[in-house]
Amino acid sequence: MSPTPPPEGWSTVAVTSVGLCGSDLHWYAEGGTGEVTLAEPVVPGHEFAGVALDGPYAGRRVAVDPAIPCGRCESCRDGHGNLCPQVQFAGHAGLDGGLQERLLWPDELLHPLPDGVSDDAGALLEPLGVALHAVQHAHVRLGQDVLVVGGGPIGVLVGAVAHRAGAARVFVAEPLEHRRRTALRFGADAAWSPDRVEDELMAATSGRGVDVVVEMAGADEGIAMAIACARPGARVALGGIPSTPLSAFPAAPARRKGLTFAMVRRMHDTYPRAIRLATTGIELDDLVSDRFPIERSAEAFEHAVRRTGDKTVITVSRS
């Protein structure tokens, strides 16, 4: 008996690489992320690439956009599918993610990979897309100074993208020394531990502060740092996902400075640009510090939770 073909508009994807995101680690270690908790088992993984086994890209390596918006609501009709209230997201709320050998996915959310982009880099196009959306949402302009709070993989990529958007200088605040080194390797002009950031940054900017802050730490302390380091009239984009449903920050200095806050919600239509960046200077493979086969997935999660490296990738199969 021949296998049942996928539904019209969907393809079977043989998964090759899955990156572990900070939100995956929240699911694993805490059973939830932000205001959402796990109510039933779900296969994790929203950073992934694979090979299309059928459909329009049959036989080709593809990156997979993990968000499936409804396409019908007001947000979708307005071109903001990332804000769709009915969006389905891989590895989240009942929709199994990429940490499996095969899955079905909509053809329109598959993006063929050029020969120069590896399977691992294909998986990391998702965090690069988040970084692209964050920098765009933060309105980074030519010649501006930018502070990135949180030097995890997405924060590192935010810094790299901000430079390509025209930022004059990019500073990074990150408590882990090895991640500060990674941020510098990806083009940051300086990277400091949190206890030094305010003094060092104010010295670097002659007491003015930065024009834009992109927060990717997911902690109240990170938001407070963003406010302290922003110049009057600056824009602060909040992209970090906290472990708790509520965030708090010092309102008085934010009000006195007249800061504009923007909330970063995942990404939207960034894969074509992310692929171009991955082939023109942003070396996503250099962000991968650790690789595990799928048989050692539990070990991979335990390792990633300790945050002793940068990006952990699980190899599901070889393309």
Mean pLDDT of the chain: 94
Strand partners, 214: 148, 237
Instruction: Please tell me which residue, 218 or 228, carries the higher pLDDT value.
Output: 228
CATH code for residues 10-128+268-315: 3.90.180.10
Residue 34: band (very low, low, confident or very high) from pLDDT cuts 50, 70, 90? low
For residue 68, pLDDT beyond 90 = yes
Q: Which residue has the higher pLDDT, 7 or 139?
A: 139
Q: What is the distance between the alpha carbons of residues 188 and 192, in angstroms, rounded to a whole number?
A: 11
Residues 6+ apart with CB under 8 A from 306: none
Rounded mean pLDDT of 19-28?
85
In the predicted structure, residue 31 carries a pLDDT above the cut 80: no
Q: List b or e across 247-257, with b for residues whose CB sees 16 or more CB atoms inside 10 angstroms.
A: eebeeeebeeb
DSSP summary character for residue 122: H
pLDDT value of position 1: 44
pLDDT mean over 1-14 = 83
For the chain, residues classed under CATH 3.40.50.720 are: 139-263
Query: Which whole number is the average pLDDT over 236-260?
Result: 92
Q: How far is CA 71 from CA 67, 89, 93, in A?
A: 11, 14, 19
CA 105 to each of CA 52, 120, 203: distance values in angstroms, whole numbers, following the listed order = 9, 19, 50
pLDDT class of 4 with cuts at 50, 70, 90 = confident
Q: What is the mean pLDDT of residues 227-256?
A: 93
Bridge partner residues of 111 (DSSP): 63
3.40.1710.10, 1.20.272.10, 2.102.10.10, 3.40.50.720: CATH of 139-263: 3.40.50.720
Report the C-alpha gap between 215 and 134 in whole angstroms. 9
Query: Residue 94's pLDDT band (boundaries 50, 70, 90)?
Result: confident
Domain with CATH 3.90.180.10 in the chain: 10-128+268-315
Residue whose token pair is 């998986």: 123
Task: Kindly report, residue by residue over 175-221, the tens digit of the pLDDT.
Answer: 999 999 999 999 999 999 999 999 999 999 999 999 999 999 999 99
pLDDT at position 224: 97
**Where is mean pLDDT largest: 19-28, 130-139, 245-254?**
130-139
Tell me what pLDDT residue 215 has: 98
Query: What's residue 3's pLDDT?
Result: 63
Rounded average pLDDT over 312-319: 91
Please state which of the ranges 2-6, 89-93, 181-185, 292-296 shows the lowest mean pLDDT. Answer: 2-6
Share of the chain above pLDDT 90, in %: 86
Q: In this structure, what token pair is assigned to residue 190? A: 């300086």
- Whose CA is closest to 185, among 160, 204, 208? 160
pLDDT reported for residue 262:
96
pLDDT at 243: 78
Give the C-alpha separation, 186 to 174, whole Å. 14
Q: Is 120 helix (H, G, I), strand (E, B) or coil?
A: helix
Q: What is the pLDDT of residue 30?
A: 73
pLDDT for position 298: 94
Task: Say what the pLDDT of residue 246 is.
Answer: 85
Phi then psi dihedrals of residue 126, to 5 deg:
-65, -55
